[in-house]
Structure 1
Amino acid sequence: MIVVKLCAAALAAISLTAGASAAGLPPVEAFALPAQMRYAALSPDGDHIAFVFQRENNDMIAVAPSRLEEGAQIRIRSVHPWETVSAISWSGERVIYQTRRPTPRSRDDTSTFYNRTFLYSAPVDLSASIPLNEDPGDRRRSWLPRPQLSGDITHLLPHDPQHILQALNWREWETRDLYRTNVETGELSMIMRGRTGTQGFLTDGNGAVVAMYGLERGRETGDPFFVVGDGANGWIDLSRFINAEYDFLPFGRHRDGRLYVGSNHDADTIGLFLFDPARGAFDELLFRHPEVDVGGLIYSAGGEAVVGAYYIADEPGFHYFDGAYAAARNDLQTRLDRTNVRFVSIAQEARLALVSAEGPSDPGGLYLYDTESGALTEVGRLRPWLDDIPMGGVFPVRFPARDGLELRGYVTLPHGRQPDTTTGRPIPFVILVHGGPAARDYARFDPWAQFLASRGYGVLQFNFRGSRGLGRALESAGDGEWGAGMQDDVDDAAQWLAANGYADPDRIAVMGASYGGYAALMAAGRDNGLYRAAISVNGVTDLVGMRQHSQRFFGLEQRFREQLEGVDLRAMSPVNAANNIRIPILVAHASYDSVVPYSQSETFRRRLGRQDEHSVFIELRGDSHAIDLAGNRHLLLATLEAFLAYHMPSAELAMAD
């Protein structure tokens, strides 16, 4: 087995030096670089755009005039080298940006990491920044500052630009309290004390508290709770509606006091309802898609009114209650000729909106839209270095699992190739399994899939049983099916690709990250001859170890227990099937992964031993579960290219060599 380790100093140069591409193929770094202008947000007056880009593995905050005229000055500020930006917004004339940093859980446990979140405020010129979530000084000190259970801002208080609301767990590790925060000084003032186990607060459009939610502590089951009220006039306990029979997802409050709730109590998919908390009853059904779940609400520019709901079918979809918003988006979709057009930021004090437009084969761009005149101006391309590289086509497919359950997926083919399986020549394929597993794939621009297509490989991404967002039946079909029915779906996908002329049956690989990495290694351990190679990125290998890991994190333990109830953890762990693996394996893992510990892949590597000299192990030094650093992404893709070229070469790679 080959083991690759890099020092931190080498990471900065990786994007320029590591893994040179095969001659005649697009450069690896073009697919490894993260998009520029990420998390873009318009200032309330519409004059500026704040966004993030990455330079030499370091995230940078930038503020530019919204109308980028020649000679316009762009302000830039670097964040801490070990922090990555996870959100940007505005409060009045100040930029609010959130970062996360992998941090050891304790002095005695430096192998277990969590993502500690930080919040900062800076003026428009980015001349200085101040922290907004430092210890307020109302607790006993310990060597390790407590992280937020979640780093989300509760409310930006647009009508009070000097303050925001955020929920922090400084008082108790497993309980968050609600603080009003002065964005100019960083001063914190607790305005509501959370009950034990509180994870967050729900507010209305003006920032008034509507509800409190979390997990009961001190009970074996860790049951979720949801109470409605303002703390002054008592609370209405609606916890009974959160159960295993159906989803109850509070999204916000209607102006008449009722709640917007996502629920599938009466159908397979989650619809959007108005719910009366006083009566404990579902009232009006506002919207339901027949095949997929509602994902949440769309708000007006100021955040006071609900103007629609969003969902994801084959691609993101939007259902508007407000005709003006619907007309504006339809106009933009026609003019930009893209399938995924959405408002990413709307100026509260100006008739300006920031619009993102992309497609499954289009890296996308940002546009400034004048909602009054209809003027549309391109601000910038998200990945301009890809604009001259032909992208692969993405095609929706459906196929049956062995028990008849319909599975939906998306095939990415090399540029110029059509899914004409009757006359086309089968090509090598990679089945790219999504993580979660309670997540889903849809038709979108995916740099990994497009990189593989640029190397002559077909890619299948599909929604196996246990995937979320496509109705309760598909998700519940995955209950207790880790390593069993969920794994059968992967095998069925491989057989369907071969039987229908897409894939060369002798050149199919399986790949995935997180749960997808688990599925790849489990597939490799099955003696069915379906796969030529397997690739795991930050993958789960030991379910017993993951159960122990989950017990260190409040909330994670409950999710782990729900997903794996009834599963034989030892029998369904890839680490215990390592001796059965007879195909080449590529394993990559981030050293600071807080979701799936690095030790998961390290233990698997030791168990696999040197029985296969063609297997490769990569340590992605200094990185997190999301693989944020461009240098590590480059290393991973360059190694993947060489690995696949050796074990199941495509025509493109063969010609390039």
Structure 2
Amino acid sequence: MRPGWSIALLVVASVRICAPAWAQGSTLPPVDAFFGNNAFGGAQLSPSGRYLAMRTNRDGLRDFLAVIDLETKEAKAVASFTDLDVDNFRWVNDSRLVFDVRDSEYASADQEGAPGLFAVDRDGGNYLQLAQRSIRQRSPQPWNTFLLAQSGSQDSEWIYVARPMFDKNDKYFGTRLRRLNTLTGKAEVGPEPDVEVSTFMLDAKGEPRLAMLYGDIKTVMHYRDPATGKWREVASFDTYRGARDAIKPLGFGPDGTLYVVANAGEDTASLRTFDFAAGTVNKEAVVVTRGYDFDGSLLGNGKLLGVRVTTDAEADVWFDPAMKALQAAVDKALPGAINMIDAPARTSVPWVLVKSYSDRQPLRYLLFYTQTGKLELVGNTYPKIDPTLMGRQETVRFKARDGLDIPGLLTLPPGGTRKNLPMVVLVHGGPWVRGASWGWNPESQFLASRGYAVLEVEFRGSTGFGMHHVEAGLKQWGLAMQNDIADGTRWAIDQGIADPKRICIAGASYGGYATLMGLVNDPDLYRCGIDWIGVTDIELMYTGTWFSKPEFSEGYMRYGMPYLIGDPVKDADQLKATSPIQQASRIRQPLLLAYGDEDKRVPLYHGKKFYAAVKRNNKLVEWVTYAGEGHGWSLAKNRIDFWQRVERFLDRHIGPGRQ
């Protein structure tokens, strides 16, 4: 590690962003503006609010950790490496930070070592490696030592860390809790229940208070009584079939109240409190997001001030009157954007950290001075993007053929044209997740910058829109889920937005599967397809043949997949009919296939087997593999290469110049 050294002030005195050189001419924004490595990796206020830590890079350096004294405006790089990048970081207290590392120059499968764990003072002193990156290193703690999801008390040199455990066959068998001193590297056994645990949750004072086991059959919640220090089981539900009874712990309030997300008999989940005596969630909801499942986090600094929640977009909702007034002042200073406020943990300094974004503006970090209304730019996550050259995005809804209400996002090319456009139907992965919410996204905005409308459909099975929407997708791969995507495409045609002769379907993982099934089921609807890291054979998900074991656990394959996708015996005919590999001869449209040769979730044989089958009858198939890549492209050079291929492929087949 290099010693700490002074650098030029990283805070800029204005929020005005000059357009990049390419924006001043007629050329398109370059691919690397969307898919290169970010020069800024976020910022966090210290507990007192006086200091700001950030991950950044400049002058060809690796990502390093810097700290700014916001009173003196002195900035210093406190942790940097010549061969590694600082990754996640967190304040331990007002004087000390912890962080881990990654290597941005190697693909995911070629990474040498674990993320490790390191600590350093805010002035660069007392640097200590806390955890090994490999078994060959000698550090106080083993390689399987990781930060918890929560920051802890931030008032001493101690933190809690998680230690996932693996047997000699690399099979996971639970997580242990350790209390770690960041000055000495010594660890103590944390308060653990005498049962298997998957994750731990700290209370508002930074003490372990909750333990969750996500088992193959049951999910079980254990609670540590503050009075006795003893653990007891307080709730359980079926892991895969008990979604309506599920309880998702969100966090503890300062008074010890546990806030959870639960349906509690309703179609959509809401924020509620948990009754430890009764072992149930309370009937009265704290926050209800109409039409959406509650998805968010608690906001506070000694008391609960509000929540950060995602509906159409992510935003802050405040209970506290002073924070409501502050939000109004920030929104007035940054109109047309979603502005999320991070207040210091334990003090009242005259500034707050603001994370601001819109559909055209990538996420940026700013300091807002509460007494003057002044804004200072801290950093942009995509500094090469000129928001004035981005397209607008809107939320849409349409009816599926069976009457189900389907949400989605529509991103339009810059300039506002919305008639007779070439369109890419971009299908999210998962599939049991929510796709993108409203806001700037590199994939959709890159495609829009090239002149394409982009439609993203929250097909049935997607989460975030209530249990009925999820359950309507059970065992519907290639069937009703696929129909929703096609119905959304036809809606865009009927609205006059999409040119029916210039539509391409594209997606990764499940989105790649849906791309292939879209070409099979609706050959007259889609002119071409782009599948990267997509499932091609449902049977292979169960068997893991071709000398590779699937990434999925035995429990998920035994209990989860038969319920969600289909039973390999009882539903064998359906799974065969909805596997792209069985329908490969029917695909005659141009197709781009891309896979990582070290993917464990959708191993390379999915792509190779399908490519061999489809090219027998289709001469318009392009194929690329990326060495060392897993389930997605971790290297900037591979992301840039892939999206350059996408750009050329689309231009040939549905490009804006074609009619």
> Shorter-chain TM-score: which interval?
0.7 to 0.9
**Separation in 2 of the partners of 1:234 and 1:413?**
53
**Separation in 2 of the partners of 1:281 and 1:331?**
40
Q: One-letter code of the match for 2:298? A: I
Q: 1:90: how far off?
A: 4.7
Identify the match of residue 334 of structure 2 among 329, 333, 336: 336
Contact 1:146 1:170 in 2 (8 A): no
Offset from partner CA, 1:178-235 (integer Å, 9 cap, x none): 101122233222113455541111221112222211134xxxx432111222484340
**Separation in 1 of the partners of 2:552 and 2:113?**
13
2:639 alignment counterpart: 633
**Separation in 2 of the partners of 1:554 and 1:201?**
23
Contact 2:114 2:132 in 1 (8 A): no
Change (3 A) 1:386 1:287: same
* SS of 1:198 mapped into structure 2: coil
Q: One-letter code of the match for 1:474? A: H
Contact 1:42 1:90 in 2 (8 A): no
* SS of 2:297 mapped into structure 1: strand
1:431 aligns with 2:425: yes
1:645 aligns with 2:645: no
2:17 alignment counterpart: none
Question: What pairs with 1:258-277 in structure 2 (closer than 5 Å)?
Answer: 258-277=257-276
1:508 aligns with 2:503: yes
2:16 alignment counterpart: none
**Separation in 1 of the partners of 2:73 and 2:181?**
36
Change (3 A) 1:250 1:482: same
Greater mean alpha carbon deviation, residues 276-285 or residues 366-375: 366-375
Any gaps of 5 or more consecutive residues in structure 2? 1-24
Contact 2:93 2:157 in 1 (8 A): yes
2:10 alignment counterpart: none
Change (3 A) 1:414 1:234: closer
1:564 aligns with 2:559: no
2:234 alignment counterpart: 237
2:443 alignment counterpart: 448
Q: Which of 1 and 2 has higher RCO (CA within 8 Å, sep 6+)?
A: 1
Q: 1:502: how far off?
A: 0.8
Q: One-letter code of the match for 2:233? A: I
Q: 1:270: how far off?
A: 0.9
1:368 aligns with 2:367: yes
Q: 1:620: how far off?
A: 2.6
Q: 1:240: how far off?
A: 4.3
2:15 alignment counterpart: none
TM norm structure 1: 0.83
Contact 1:593 1:623 in 2 (8 A): yes
Q: One-letter code of the match for 2:564? A: Q
Contact 2:393 2:410 in 1 (8 A): yes
Contact 1:77 1:126 in 2 (8 A): no
2:609 alignment counterpart: 603
Greater mean alpha carbon deviation, residues 203-212 or residues 61-70: 61-70
Contact 1:466 1:486 in 2 (8 A): yes
Contact 1:57 1:629 in 2 (8 A): no
**Separation in 2 of the partners of 1:209 and 1:335?**
40
Q: One-letter code of the match for 2:152? A: L
**Separation in 1 of the partners of 2:110 and 2:566?**
24
Q: 1:170: how far off?
A: 3.8
Greater mean alpha carbon deviation, residues 114-123 or residues 254-263: 114-123
Q: Which has the higher strand share?
A: 1
Matched length: 606
1:294 alignment counterpart: 294
Q: 1:75: how far off?
A: 5.3
**Separation in 2 of the partners of 1:533 and 1:54?**
39
Contact 1:533 1:583 in 2 (8 A): yes
Offset from partner CA, 1:492-535 (integer Å, 9 cap, x none): 11211112211111110011122211211221222531111111
Change (3 A) 1:266 1:79: farther
Change (3 A) 1:332 1:201: same
1:158 aligns with 2:153: yes
Change (3 A) 1:380 1:165: same
Q: 1:335: how far off?
A: 1.3
Q: 1:86: how far off?
A: 4.8
* SS of 1:369 mapped into structure 2: strand
Change (3 A) 1:410 1:375: same
Identify the match of residue 524 of structure 2 among 522, 529, 539: 529
Change (3 A) 1:263 1:76: same
Identify the match of residue 85 of structure 1 among 84, 87, 90: 87
Question: What pairs with 1:249-648 in structure 2 (closer than 5 Å)?
Answer: 249-283=248-282, 284-301=284-301, 304-344=302-342, 346=344, 348-349=346-347, 351=349, 352-371=351-370, 374-387=373-386, 390-419=389-418, 424=419, 426-440=420-434, 441-547=436-542, 548=544, 549-550=549-550, 553=553, 557=557, 560-566=561-567, 568-609=574-615, 611-648=617-654
**Separation in 2 of the partners of 1:619 and 1:158?**
46
* SS of 1:435 mapped into structure 2: coil
**Separation in 1 of the partners of 2:90 and 2:255?**
31
**Separation in 1 of the partners of 2:515 and 2:481?**
12
Q: One-letter code of the match for 1:488? A: N
Percent identity reads 29
1:19 alignment counterpart: none
1:191 alignment counterpart: 190
Q: One-letter code of the match for 2:484? A: D
Greater mean alpha carbon deviation, residues 313-322 or residues 436-445: 313-322
Change (3 A) 1:252 1:266: same
Q: 1:122: how far off?
A: 3.0
Identify the match of residue 120 of structure 1 among 107, 111, 118: 118
2:211 alignment counterpart: 212
Q: 1:381: how far off?
A: 2.8
**Separation in 2 of the partners of 1:201 and 1:36?**
33
TM norm structure 2: 0.83
**Separation in 2 of the partners of 1:454 and 1:649?**
12
Contact 1:359 1:445 in 2 (8 A): yes
**Separation in 1 of the partners of 2:409 and 2:537?**
29
CA RMSD in angstroms comes to 3.5
Greater mean alpha carbon deviation, residues 548-557 or residues 398-407: 548-557
* SS of 1:501 mapped into structure 2: coil
Offset from partner CA, 1:233-276 (integer Å, 9 cap, x none): 34033114872333321222345544212111232211111221
Greater mean alpha carbon deviation, residues 468-477 or residues 323-332: 323-332
**Separation in 2 of the partners of 1:593 and 1:383?**
27
**Separation in 1 of the partners of 2:326 and 2:355?**
13
1:98 alignment counterpart: 100
**Separation in 1 of the partners of 2:133 and 2:113?**
17
Change (3 A) 1:354 1:321: same
1:43 aligns with 2:12: no
Question: What pairs with 1:13-32 in structure 2 (closer than 5 Å)?
Answer: 24-32=27-35
Q: 1:472: how far off?
A: 1.4
Contact 1:456 1:650 in 2 (8 A): yes
* SS of 1:161 mapped into structure 2: coil
Change (3 A) 1:114 1:431: farther
**Separation in 1 of the partners of 2:129 and 2:613?**
45
Change (3 A) 1:111 1:196: farther
* SS of 1:627 mapped into structure 2: coil
**Separation in 1 of the partners of 2:299 and 2:190?**
25
**Separation in 2 of the partners of 1:626 and 1:69?**
42
Change (3 A) 1:200 1:56: farther
Contact 1:154 1:166 in 2 (8 A): no
Contact 1:365 1:382 in 2 (8 A): yes
**Separation in 2 of the partners of 1:166 and 1:236?**
22
